[in-house]
């Protein structure tokens, strides 16, 4: 129903998994009950802003508001980090040679 919301929740789960964290691990780190994390990820509850921020921070994510106009540019930054050959976790190369969204830090600064 709400694209922005679904997208946000999906990001949370994606990044958690990318960090190879279980809901329990995230629970331990964030202080939120595992059951609550499950409910949030599945859209069963509508978390409070502070809860979302807490969860995000634990996953080293920051929440920001972006003018809709700037969204494409911002997405471009968030999605990839530049053109690299070997890319994904398992050594696969994505079609366009770009990193997947929310890839783990391989420290490429």
Handedness of CA 4, 40, 50, 16 (dihedral sign): negative
**Min dist. Cβ of residue 68 to its own copies (A):** 5
Chosen from its own copies, DNA, none, partner binding at 61 (C-beta under 5 to 8 Å by type)? its own copies
Distance, in Å, from the CA atom of 100 to the CA atom of 104, rounded to the nearest integer, reads 9
- Closer residue to DNA (CB): 25 or 98: 25
**Do the beta carbons of residue 40 and residue 56 sit within 8 Å?**
no
Backbone phi and psi for residue 83, each to the nearest 5 degrees, phi listed first? -95, 120
List C-alpha distances in Å: 52 to 15, 40, 41, 93: 14, 9, 10, 33
> Is residue 22 a contact residue for DNA (CB under 7 A)?
yes
Q: Which of residues 47-86 bind its own copies (CB under 8 A)?
A: 47-50, 52-53, 56-57, 60-71, 73-75, 77-78
**Min dist. Cβ of residue 49 to DNA (A):** 8
Interface with DNA by CB under 7 A: which residues? Answer: 17, 22-25, 31-36, 38-42, 44-48, 50-51
């Amino acid at each position: 129903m709400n694209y922005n919301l679904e997208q946000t929740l999906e990001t949370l789960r994606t990044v958690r998994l990318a960090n190879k964290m279980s809901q329990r691990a995230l629970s331990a780190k964030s202080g939120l009950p595992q059951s609550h994390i499950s409910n949030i990820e599945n859209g069963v509850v509508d978390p409070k802003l502070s809860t979302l921020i807490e969860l995000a921070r634990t996953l080293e994510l920051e929440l920001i508001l972006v003018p809709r106009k700037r969204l494409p540019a911002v997405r471009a930054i968030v999605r990839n980090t530049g053109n690299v050959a070997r890319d994904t976790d398992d050594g696969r190369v994505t079609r366009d040679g770009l990193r997947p969204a929310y890839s783990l830090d391989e420290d490429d600064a």
